């Protein structure tokens, strides 16, 4: 029998509505031009309710940022399975993330976040440090593969950055900046990137 959907409390529903409204507001007006009044209107709640959940626009933006990158990390999280090939598991991770990067809402928020990060490097650094402390991401899979002696990696963080550098060059950055769309070559790109990565690190 399928699990019943979790029913949110009234307060939780309002928080979800506020976050959704804030994403819309940040997408339309950016962080600097965003208004807590308009966010309240978009969420159909009072301004006091917004401040009860998020004491400032900075906190609301920080929450939006953290949740955005957490979605990326979640998509890339996979426990290493020694019964499956390295290629199949990396394919799964890559396809999950490519699908995430195809979502217009994700890309719109990412553009707002990037613009704000350029304006405020300190805020960007703090947000990324918070995300780095969260469990998950490709690093979990890499660590498992190293533990099972399937990969030979001295610096897991660097290897993860290398993998995503190749991947995002085709799957994320072109979409973020409205450049050439590589979706029709998705499988060929993923295959090539995995082949290069494993040529370096396969034990």
Q: What is the pLDDT of residue 131?
A: 57
Least Cα distance to 60 among 119, 18, 11, 10 occurs for 18
Q: Phi and psi of 136, rounded to 5°?
A: 125, -170
DSSP string, 56-117: SHHHHHHHHHHHHHHHHHHHT-----TTS-HHHHHHHHHHHHHHHHT-HHHHHHHHHHHHHH
pLDDT value for 31? 81
pLDDT digits (tens, 9 = 90+) for 83-108: 999 999 999 999 999 998 888 878 88
The reported pLDDT for the residue numbered 4 is: 55
Note the pLDDT tens digit of each residue in 106-137.
888 788 778 777 777 776 666 666 655 555 68
Which pLDDT score, from 0 to 100, does residue 195 have?
Answer: 97
Reported as a single tens digit per residue, the pLDDT across 20-55 is 899 888 888 888 888 999 999 999 999 999 999 999
When pLDDT is averaged across residues 1-10 and rounded to a whole number, the result is 66
């Amino acid at each position: 029998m399928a699990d019943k959907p979790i029913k949110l409390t009234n307060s939780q529903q309002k928080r979800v509505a506020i976050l959704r409204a804030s994403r819309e507001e940040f997408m339309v007006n950016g962080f600097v031009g965003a208004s807590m009044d308009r966010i309240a209107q978009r969420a159909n709640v009072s301004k006091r309710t917004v401040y009860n959940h998020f004491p400032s626009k900075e906190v609301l933006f920080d929450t939006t940022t953290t949740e955005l990158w957490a979605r990326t990390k979640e998509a890339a999280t996979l426990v290493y399975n020694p019964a499956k090939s390295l290629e199949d598991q990396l394919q799964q991770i890559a396809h999950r993330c490519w699908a995430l990067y195809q979502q217009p809402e994700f890309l719109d928020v990412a553009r707002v976040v990037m613009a704000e990060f350029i304006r405020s490097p300190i805020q960007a650094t703090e947000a990324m440090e918070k995300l780095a402390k969260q469990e998950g991401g490709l690093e979990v899979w890499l660590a498992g593969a190293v533990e099972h002696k399937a990969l030979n990696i001295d610096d897991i963080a660097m290897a993860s950055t290398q993998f995503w550098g190749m991947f995002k060059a085709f799957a994320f950055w072109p979409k973020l900046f409205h450049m050439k769309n590589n979706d029709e070559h998705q499988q060929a790109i993923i295959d090539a990137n995995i082949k290069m990565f494993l040529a370096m690190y396969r034990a």
